[in-house]
Amino acid sequence: MDKKQRFMAASRGEKVDHPPVSSWIHFGSALWEPELAADVHLRFVRAYDWDYIKVMDDYRFPTEGGLREATTVDELRAIGSPDLPYDNFERQLEVLRRIRDGAPGVPTLDTVFSPFQTVIRALGDGVVPLFKAHPQVAHEVIGRVADRLVDFIRASAGIVDGIFLAVNGADAGVDGWGLNAAQFADWIAPYDRQVLEAARDRVRVMHVHGYDLIPEWVNDYPADVLSWSHNQSRPTLGEVARGGRHVPMGGLDEVGTLYWALSKVRANVLASRQETADRIIVAPGCTMHSDTPPAIFHALVAAARMPLPVQPVSPPGAS
């Protein structure tokens, strides 16, 4: 199988010659020109021969007057206007085109942050208590941002093979921003679903961010693949693989890996593959540390492509 055949088949839960494998880091490219951002991605994929590319998007949303902190309800409305120039989208589209042209045989996933998280990334975490106190304003603001993200997803049709939607809020810990079930269902979930529906012509990966997830809150999201920090939170990889609703994306513990011996990397990935009977897209549970040694990434690739051992492999830390 070639890389695209392998990735597309695996995203449907079909049998492949070996699970597709990739990884990603934040390059700190928020101030880079698209040419440089694309070049770094291409160097990364060539160095490790990834089967697919998750393209990072560090460009921030524009706001009225360049506002970067919202402390009032009126300031919340500085984001999401259809009248603003969205140069962040233009820059990311250029990154995506250059990656497509530079690695034509490698499928790409574009990182899209959920509408709620997009607001936080642009205006700071002070928006969360404002949204809680003014839920109708939350609908207005998050809804406008969702509309802009839908416009962008439509513009990227034919350039990327899928989206990687980073979902925040479905977590009982710090990454959940203190939201309760009613708040999440009211003014988070509808707009996440809107963005995912806009990408229904592509592979939709839903990454649920956090270490104490409440997966029931996102069970009805229209996604094909589920990504999460499975070494730190429920559900297990095996539960998702056997459930049949989503193909699990994971296999490597991104939290402890920075200083792991290579044998631990191999054991972690092989145990994950055995747990899912190779119904998996191999990846870290979340972003890898930018200082991760190259040998770790090479070990990840090798473990994803080697034949599965007959005997079960115990994951690191198992007794």
Give the pLDDT confidence of 140-149 residue by residue, as tens digits.
999 999 999 9
318 pLDDT more than 70: no
196 half-sphere exposure, CB direction, 13 A CA radius: 23
pLDDT digits (tens, 9 = 90+) for 2-22: 999 999 999 999 999 999 999
CB 52 within 8 A of CB 22: yes
pLDDT digits (tens, 9 = 90+) for 271-311: 999 999 999 999 999 999 999 999 999 999 999 999 999 88
Q: How confident is the model at residue 319 (pLDDT cuts 50, 70, 90)?
A: very low
Contacts of 136 (CB under 8 A, 6+ apart): none
What is the overall mean pLDDT for the chain? 97
pLDDT at residue number 308: 95
Q: Where are the alpha helices (DSSP H) in 212-251?
A: 237-243
Write down all domains in the chain, each with its CATH number in brackets.
3-305 (3.20.20.210)
Count CA atoms within 13 Å of residue 32 on its CB side: 19
175-224 confidence digits (pLDDT tens):
999 999 999 999 999 999 999 999 999 999 999 999 999 999 999 999 99
